[in-house]
Amino acid sequence: MTRNQQILLDNRPQGEATESNFRLVTAEVPALQDGQVLVRHHYLSLDPYMRGRMNDSKSYADAQPLGEVMIGGTVGEVVESRNPKFARGDQVVGMGGWQEYSVVDGDAPGMLRKVDTTHVPLSHYLGAVGMPGVTAWYGLVKIIAPKAGETVVVSAATGAVGSAFAALAKARGCRVVGIAGGPDKCRYATEELGFDVCIDYREHGDIKAMSRALKEACPDGIDGYFENVGGYILDAVLLRANAFARVAVCGMIAGYDGQPLPLQNPALILINRMKIEGFIVSEHMEVWPEALKELGTLVGSGKLRPRETVAQGLAAAPGAFLGLLKGRNFGKQLVKITP
Amino acid sequence: MTRNQQILLDNRPQGEATESNFRLVTAEVPALQDGQVLVRHHYLSLDPYMRGRMNDSKSYADAQPLGEVMIGGTVGEVVESRNPKFARGDQVVGMGGWQEYSVVDGDAPGMLRKVDTTHVPLSHYLGAVGMPGVTAWYGLVKIIAPKAGETVVVSAATGAVGSAFAALAKARGCRVVGIAGGPDKCRYATEELGFDVCIDYREHGDIKAMSRALKEACPDGIDGYFENVGGYILDAVLLRANAFARVAVCGMIAGYDGQPLPLQNPALILINRMKIEGFIVSEHMEVWPEALKELGTLVGSGKLRPRETVAQGLAAAPGAFLGLLKGRNFGKQLVKITP
């Protein structure tokens, strides 16, 4: 039998998440039933949304059940198949979870998808050409819907979503301003990711300082904002928003530990006649083919060169995940599962 | 010469607006030039947006200049015309301001419009069949866009906007819940205006109490909210909002005196995948004909019977306006200018 290391959610965070919320166990891979496929994971994706699932509160998705394998996107290869649609050696993307292997019903729609690694490295299907990339695409194209020449801003600028956002917005003729933590990330944003300007939030740690930095970075005001973090940055953006500005709310990572983060002056929504819209990309599957096609072309042509931070081995996943929540990753955070 | 009483904005409010911000003067009506029309005002409309104009801060509209006649909608009759489009005796609606007479360029688009009082009383062109009615229409139809069976909520429920909102939403098969101040207004909302339920905010003066009241009034949750007031009511609505709920932000009267009113938990915008959109109806003139037609039909057929509070004489306007800001009016607040 094949041994399968797994990480379960053992207990829910009281405030901040910690490594003790997780538990590493070893199970055995069961024998395949007809129609099933056994996938060996090469990479596990770590994403901020997972923090929300760890809570038991009402949210857009069901809470992660205790004692079960943590959910998560994975890429890997088929090592055994009892389904005619998949063959040993196929490279696939799916939601295999925090474990070395997963057994998947190969007939369930959307559960497992074969991918082509001729022009796009396998791991990128968890990032720029996967859920984070489509997230950037949906918020930019469907909510912000910018015109050429408009100014758009994104927080968590060097992350998987932010870097895809920059490439997509530049392709539409926008001025693109990023917000990231620290000089290295900001330099990378402008030198490698195509941002026109990147603001270091560590140097602009309150609404007044951030508002001043945004004024300088956005001389024509802000037409669109892609929200990944929440808190005072959104307050500052509202102060610099143009009439009819649009805000796509994708994440509010700053509030995941339970403390509410008030929006200081919602009257600006009226004064600026703004639209603020929250979304979850998994509820808009109809856009994925169009979005993935554009993202794949951007990566294949070198216009989007996403950076990755790779933790080694499944046991490193909890620590890497907690680092992600604190912005310690640089680019897409992955865990390499295979040695 | 004809004497013309006028009320000017004398100075800007420091915090709360007071009667001393205004000044009553008497001018003389100038002789008409070619193309001009002299209108004698019968009614002046008092509306919450005027409070915003009294401030000198950046807002969606220019500040009301000091020393000039306060802006405001008016209905009246043509008493003299040097424009072939208008004749003495015509009943008209326009933006004549806080004064007894106005001289209008009859050729300027949208400045003066003849109205038919066969089925709709003249004063209603300042309320249900005027700017407030179209405001309700735009927020409901263009932003909330409800399906039959959905639950929609409006604050300031018995005001000019709220009462039109109720009739328009009932016509679309919605459950309509109002929020108003005091048992008289709440009784009127359900008995006369067609609201299914009306919540007295004076009995539910904080977010917890309001949230409980909304839960009871909206057993299937809230799909749409029309925001007239701001503050804790919006916080409570967000706690009861369904997935994909829409909020049309028309006014935040509670914040007009300058104190910002934070939104306590904007993460709910993401959790509920909500859309929050601010608007000003004067920027959407393209919808006015369609909206006014529906509103006129609702009034003409008795399905919308808006209530009015009428102050007597121009000199009463400042006091009536300050009362409006505190919710002392009952229905549309007007000033009768002619004796």
Say if domain B3-127+307-336 classifies as CATH 3.40.50.1820: no
Shortest Cα distance, chain A CAs vs residue B156, angstroms = 17
Q: Is B236 helix (H, G, I), strand (E, B) or coil?
A: helix
Q: CB contacts < 8 Å between A and B, how many?
A: 102
CB contact under 8 A, A261 and B271: no
Residue A255: pLDDT band with limits 50, 70, 90: low
B269 to chain A: which residues are within 8 Å by CB? 249, 276-278
Shortest Cα distance, chain A CAs vs residue B275, angstroms = 4
For residues A66-77, one letter each, b for 16 or more C-beta atoms within 10 angstroms of the residue's C-beta and e for the rest, the string is eeebbbbbbbbb
Domain boundaries, chain B: 3-127+307-336, 131-282
What pLDDT shows up at residue B79? 97
What pLDDT shows up at residue B253? 65
A236 to chain B: which residues are within 8 Å by CB? none
pLDDT at A192 over 70: yes
Q: Which CATH architecture has domain A131-282?
A: 3-Layer(aba) Sandwich (3.40)
Residue-wise pLDDT for A123-182, tens only, equals 999 999 999 999 999 999 999 999 999 999 999 999 999 999 999 999 999 999 999 999
A221 to chain B: which residues are within 8 Å by CB? none
Residue-wise pLDDT for B25-47, tens only, equals 999 999 999 999 999 999 999 99
- Residue predicted with more confidence, B339 or B138: B138
pLDDT at B131 over 70: yes
Helix or strand holding residue A237 (H, E):
helix A232-240
- Contacts for B29 with CB less than 8 Å, ≥ 6 apart: B1, B2, B3, B4, B38, B101, B103
What pLDDT shows up at residue A257? 64
Q: Among candidates A232, A275, A274, which has minimal Cα distance to A255? A: A232
Can you tell me the distance from the alpha carbon of A28 to that of A49, in angstroms, rounded to the nearest whole number? Answer: 28
CB contact under 8 A, B260 and A267: yes
User: In whole angstroms, what separates CA A216 from the centre of its chain?
Assistant: 28
* Contact present, A125 and A149 (Cβ < 8 Å): no
Can you tell me the distance from the alpha carbon of B1 to that of B53, in angstroms, rounded to the nearest whole number? Answer: 32
What value does the mean pLDDT of chain A take?
94
Say if domain A3-127+306-336 classifies as CATH 3.30.420.40: no
> Same CATH fold, A131-282 and A3-127+306-336?
no
How crowded is the C-beta side of A56, counted as CA atoms within 13 Å? 8
Q: Among candidates B160, B200, B197, which has minimal Cα distance to B182? A: B200
Can you tell me the distance from the alpha carbon of A112 to that of B155, in angstroms, rounded to the nearest whole number? Answer: 48
Shortest Cα distance, chain A CAs vs residue B196, angstroms = 28
Neighbours of A121 (CB within 10 A): 15
User: In whole angstroms, what separates CA A255 from the centre of its chain?
Assistant: 16
Q: Among candidates A106, A99, A113, which has minimal Cα distance to A29? A: A99
- Contacts for A288 with CB less than 8 Å, ≥ 6 apart: A134
What pLDDT shows up at residue B277? 97
Residue-wise pLDDT for A32-80, tens only, equals 999 999 999 999 999 988 998 998 876 667 789 999 999 999 999 999 9
